[in-house]
A and B are shown apart, each in its own frame.
Chain A
């Protein structure tokens, strides 16, 4: 198979496994998609377009990702809900021997306790992916969301 196509399939597979953990309450596995020295960020397009840094979520290592989940499981109070991510438009934008950058689009449909499903967030992933111990992992994942108003609150990661 064309090597470039093979790479695209591998990154696509990574992405699908990533959203699988978020959509199926496997949150404890979510940090494992990142290398220890990573950066994860959820930021509005409104800020990103103006080069303003204020995030909704900002983690600068994998321990902070684990803390987010610990807090969700043990401390924070929010309505039971389920996400369904739809991802599309994965494009590799840069690649070197040890690092790849890629962008893609996502839509998150959220279903709350009343059973109503709504488009909770639409946005763009900006990813930096590296190979660690033979596996692709995220070194950076930036979720730039178009849906400028966050409905009620954001508990589960994107």
Chain B
């Protein structure tokens, strides 16, 4: 997609000013401005980035397809004889949505409006009355003689697969998917996707807040033990846990947070009390704590791996529950979050049941996640006015080299620095 289609109103965008180059201060207008949103659609979702489309195991058979979005552009991704294909879900004739199902199987797709028909790669196959129709002695003409179906296929995106994750890009300048994910992030994607996975379904959540507030949230280990009181109330999240907070070195837009149980599991309730943190409720216990367990299945016993791959994916392992969260912007003030659950093909019945039970921890009703959309909405509502005022994120600012801390905002700062560059702010 050419970059020159920028809305003229955007070329001279003086209204957005980041006070700091390091991303520590973010003007509130980026969360509600329509101009910023339009620019993101152009520069990010049509720019040299790869947007997560779904898991290959969602469309396991030839001609299986799913409808989804790149930014707010509706697209369809489908399995073809030689790989995967992705096209904009918009008829080349009059612009109608061609594929009206969320998922299914079809060797070809027909627009209902005038029955223009496309194969699974988006090539135009048939146009009704293309060659006209004979009516008595009169030939009613059809399409012009110069009409060439090859020039009227659906708009096609590049598709890349990395270990069963499908990505789409409008840009010829997006690097190879290996380079895009990068050397810091790849080992952790490989960790989760080291053997064949099976799709377990999705849950969808709709938030009245800007998509970047959610991206901040998944780069923010500082909030975990303070907002999500399930941890502290039931004494799960322990202060002594080993942590990683690692950005990717390419643009800082991807990142990794892990939390690993210490070898000796000591009770650190006292540490919470000493800090005066809310809710260390002695005596409140779960009657059935089975869902807090974890069956070891990786070399390192991480309780949490939260890994956003910009701009549409968050890979998540929490205990034994595995999801790919797909983050879809729906205008400046709304986003949809799709939790795609998966397991491994060789799961035992016990493991599969545990993965589903631990779905209680995450998603819209998640014991340790339901607050996330609550707070992104609080920020959205709090920042509705005074767009030139800004947030202040300085935790661990004096130690940029420190990547073993959970009390840091370094990943958010790296994100905003990368965002400023990508957006030209």
Contacts and interface: CB of A to CB of B under 8 A. Distances in A.
A76 B359 contact: no
B201 A76 contact: no
Contact of A60 (B203, B205, B287, B357): B357
A77 interface: yes
Given A58-B357, A67-B288, A150 B203 contact: yes
Contacts of A77: 227, 229, 371, 374
A55 to B, nearest CB: 5
Given A70-B284, A74-B284, A153 B356 contact: no
Contact of B202 (A47, A151, A154): A47
Contacts of A9: none
Contacts of B230: 71, 75-76
A56 B364 contact: yes
Nearest to A149: B206
B118 interface: no
A56 B206 contact: no
A8 interface: no
A139 B200 CA distance: 24
B237 to A, nearest CB: 12
A44 interface: yes
Contacts of B356: 53-55, 58
Interface string B277-301: 0010100101110010000000000
Nearest to A66: B287
Contact of A63 (B288, B365, B373): B288
B206 A46 contact: no
A85 B339 CA distance: 27
Nearest to A157: B365
A152 B377 contact: yes
A149 B204 contact: yes
Interface in A48-64: 50, 52-61, 63-64
Contacts of A148: 204
A130 interface: no
Interface in A124-158: 148-155
A148 B67 CA distance: 15
Nearest to B369: A153
A155 B367 CA distance: 9
B102 to A, nearest CB: 7
A152 B373 contact: yes
Contacts of B374: 77-79, 152-153
A38 interface: no
Contacts of A52: 199-202
Interface of B: 102-103, 199-208, 227, 229-230, 233-234, 279, 281, 284, 286-288, 291, 336, 339, 341, 353, 356-357, 359-360, 363-365, 367, 370-371, 373-374, 377
Given A53-B201, A77-B374, 18 more contacts: A42-B365, A56-B365, A57-B360, A61-B288, A64-B291, A66-B287, A67-B287, A75-B234, A78-B371, A79-B374, A149-B205, A150-B364, A150-B365, A152-B207, A152-B373, A153-B371, A153-B373, A154-B365
Smallest CB-CB A-B distances: 9 pairs: A52-B201, A54-B201, A63-B287, A47-B201, A150-B364, A154-B365, A63-B288, A54-B341, A75-B233
